[in-house]
Amino acid sequence: MMSIDDNIEIDDTGASLCVHCDGVLGASSTDPFEKVIRRERPSTPAEPGVHALPSHFTDRPIMVRQAFCPHCLTLLAMEIVPGDEPGYRHWRLEVGTSIQR
């Protein structure tokens, strides 16, 4: 077992698991969030670290993207990013190298 962060670990087969419930998040380390529940919505000043309307600083839509464990619904990852970016930022694990973000 290899710990990736406070929420995710990789087992000997390369599958990613939720550390809170041992549920499988992805069958392969190349797509560790394959089975997560994703939620995306516009950022608001009520978000952690957001104290003003994003429109005061940019014309781009700013979105909150969250990934939840499909088994226990723990929030696994969250990002606040421009909504016109194509998808979630992600990490991948390559054998023999460090974690790539």
Enumerate binding residues for Zn ion (CB under 5 A). 18, 20-21, 23, 69, 71-72, 74
Q: Residue 34 or 81: which CB sits closer to Zn ion?
A: 34
Helix (H, G, I), strand (E, B) or coil at 54: helix
Type of residue numbered 26: G
CB of 23 to Zn ion, least distance (A): 5
Nearest Cα to Cα of residue 56 among 48, 65, 69, 45: 45
Please identify which residue in the block is written with the tokens 């950022």: 43
CB of 76 to Zn ion, least distance (A): 8
CB of 78 to Zn ion, least distance (A): 15
